[in-house]
Amino acid sequence: MPAEWSRHESTWLSWPKNPLTFPPETIAKVEAAYVEMVEALARGERVDILVDDDRTEERVRRMLSAKNVAFHQIRSADVWMRDYGPIFVTQVEGRRRGVAATKWKFNAWGSKYDDLLPDDATGLEVARSTGLRIFETGVVLEGGSIDVNGRGALLTTEQCLLNKNRNPALGKPQLERLLHDYLGATSVVWLRSGVAGDDTDGHVDDIARFVDENTVVCMTERDPRDENHKPLEEDQAILSRHEDDKGRRLEVVPIEMPRAVGGDGGRLPASYANFYIGNSVVLVPVFGDAKRDSAALETLSDFFHGRKAVPVDCRALVFGFGGIHCVTQQQPAAP
């Protein structure tokens, strides 16, 4: 699996419409965030968008000025392309060179949302639409539960991958073998748990992300009274101690969490780690906290020279318990 900063062929999205995720008073703001994301990404790569029908496609076309956009009438229950969509891989050695799709099972984060289970089939249809070779693993895994540096290192959490609501018969050795065989992982960093409000059981893309082959940004919470303080402190310590298969340590760069963002049901999983790296931009979630938003933008900008850091107001998007990285999935360019 290539690093996210490797050259993309395109970025995949599914246009928002589920009223249980984004109620009527929220959906317009979510669509505005989508327009901003698509316009920024399309300057550097094609954006592939799932829509349910002709009527939706025409409406969305009128909202966009970007031309580098392809629509696919593939029905979806919701927007979480990162988790139900295919995870693309490349092969650069031997006679076969190119891109393939791995399709993992999606069970709506441990069967929490029965109405979203059909998106397992949506992800397979997306993979088939590319015309690429497909490897079906038969194992539950969401794209938001992992992050890679493109050179064999992979981040994940025990809270998610070892959760009995995913693959109860598989332990660390079996999962590490699968991550090696399908994604090329040679060194797995097992963090403990995720951030407060996350209904995915600790997805790593709200905690820590690679920004280059040897550097990870990790969320931190200074306030010892905050429920995120101790888990993030433990995760940062694990990252600092980790050595890869060649004995190399990671450089860990902290980013302070945004102030707590609340919804009707309590705290929402707002995190600056849920950024997305496009060919020409880095989409950075912001939450109306001027000081911390600016600090996160500055830190991430330092790692991606040549890419514009674009702040995207995610206060409406996170109302659906996800963010920019959760709704995007990169299709890498052929090596």
CA angle 244, 270, 109 (to 5 degrees): 70
Q: Tell whether the model's pLDDT for residue 199 goes beyond 70.
A: yes
pLDDT attached to residue 262: 84
Of the candidates 199, 200, 239, the residue with the CA atom closest to the CA atom of residue 219: 239
Q: Calculate the dihedral angle through the C-alpha atoms of 198, 202, 207, 213, rounding to the nearest 10 degrees.
A: -140
Instruction: Report the relative pairing of strands 69-72 and 46-50 from DSSP bridges.
Output: parallel
pLDDT tens readout for residues 131-175: 999 999 999 999 999 999 999 999 999 999 999 999 999 999 999
Question: What is the rounded distance in angstroms from the CA atom of residue 251 to the CA atom of residue 83?
Answer: 27
Domain segments of the chain as ranges:
8-332
pLDDT tens readout for residues 247-298: 889 999 999 999 999 866 689 999 999 999 999 999 999 999 999 999 999 9
Phi and psi at residue 144, to the nearest 5°: -75, -10
Dihedral (CA of 176, 177, 183, 187) sign: positive
Domain 8-332 CATH superfamily: L-arginine/glycine Amidinotransferase; Chain A (3.75.10.10)
Burial class of residue 24 in the structure, from the number of CB atoms within 10 Å of its CB (0-12 exposed, 13-18 middle, 19+ buried): exposed
Question: What is the rounded distance in angstroms from the CA atom of residue 23 to the CA atom of residue 319?
Answer: 9
Q: Residues 68-74: what's their mean pLDDT?
A: 98
pTM of the full predicted structure? 0.96
The verdict on whether 326 is a catalytic residue reads yes
Instruction: Return the DSSP state at 279.
Output: S
